[in-house]
Amino acid sequence: MAAPNLDFNANHFKLFGLPENFRLDADTLDKRFREIQAQVHPDKFAHAGDAERRLSLQWATHVNEAYQTLRTPLPRAQYLLHLSGSDTELHSNTSMAPEFLMEQMEWREAVEEARQGREYDELEQLHFRVKQEMKGHYDQLARLLDDSRDYAQAADLVRRLMFLEKLLFEIDEALAALEA
């Protein structure tokens, strides 16, 4: 294989030569991704033996998955929590503060009302407000993961962000439906 210095057991950050932090340099990640992909891309092994082609495909898949995980904030946070050994219970722990759940209900009702009323401007405003709230949460998440290493608080915030990501997706769908 052309890239014997790569280690399948290395975590995603080590694979790209990055520190294990939530805050990361996206340009460096992109550059390292392109460099590694150039080494392992299956096209480079089109005339190699079956074993080398399979290994190349495995590497390309592994590198793509690692890149997709690190380039997007929520999966990156989830991955850092996993590396920390934190039992995040992201899919089984649905207990949330009542205030947060009430806020979610209010957001969803506002989205549904704007959708039914075909209020494009209102949906755009909701989109902006949710994005602003998410930005604040992601800033806080960076402090929790990188600065204080408070994984329990970070896991709670990740669960909240999962709700907000879903809400943002619903708003985007409503906007797209109105544009159609």
CATH number of 19's domain: 1.10.287.110
Q: Are 63 and 103 contained in the same domain?
A: no
Higher pLDDT, 1 or 138: 138
pLDDT at position 43, please?
Answer: 82
Q: Are 104 and 174 contained in the same domain?
A: yes
User: Which residue range(s) make up the domain with 61?
Assistant: 12-71
pLDDT at position 3, please?
Answer: 44
Q: Is 115 within the bounds of a domain? A: yes
Q: How many domains does the chain have?
A: 2
pLDDT tens column, 109-136? 999 999 999 999 999 999 999 999 999 9
3-state helix, strand, coil in the chain (%, to 5): 75, 0, 25
pLDDT at position 93, please?
Answer: 62
Q: Are 64 and 102 contained in the same domain?
A: no
CA–CA distance, 52 with 3 (Å, rounded to integer)? 11
Q: Which residues contact 100 (CB under 8 A, 6 or more apart)?
A: 160, 163
Q: Is 31 within the bounds of a domain? A: yes
pLDDT at position 90, please?
Answer: 59
Is the pLDDT confidence value at 87 over 80? no
Q: Are 107 and 165 contained in the same domain?
A: yes
Q: Is 110 within the bounds of a domain? A: yes
CA–CA distance, 154 with 160 (Å, rounded to integer)? 10
H or E stretch at 8: none
Q: Can you give the CATH number for the domain in which 139 is found?
A: 1.20.1280.20
pLDDT category of residue 145 using cuts at 50, 70 and 90: very high
Higher pLDDT, 137 or 48: 137
Residues 66-80 have a mean pLDDT of 96
pLDDT at position 4, please?
Answer: 41
pLDDT tens column, 32-72? 999 999 888 888 887 888 888 888 888 989 999 999 999 99
Pick from 56, 71, 86: which residue ends a domain? Answer: 71
Q: Is 91 within the bounds of a domain? A: no
Is the pLDDT confidence value at 92 over 70? no
Pair 144, 159: CB distance under 8 Å: no
Q: pLDDT exceeding 90 applies to what percent of the chain? A: 71
Neighbouring C-beta atoms of residue 139, cutoff 10 Å: 11
Q: To the nearest whole number, what is the mean pLDDT of the chain?
A: 90
Neighbouring C-beta atoms of residue 85, cutoff 10 Å: 7
DSSP 21: -
Q: Is 26 within the bounds of a domain? A: yes
Q: Are 20 and 56 contained in the same domain?
A: yes
Residues 139-160 have a mean pLDDT of 95
Q: Is 36 within the bounds of a domain? A: yes
Exposure b/e, 30-68, CB count within 10 A at least 16 = b: eebbeebeebbbbebbeeeeeeeeebbeebbebbeebbe
Q: Which of 110, 168, 151 is nearest to 22 (CA)?
A: 151
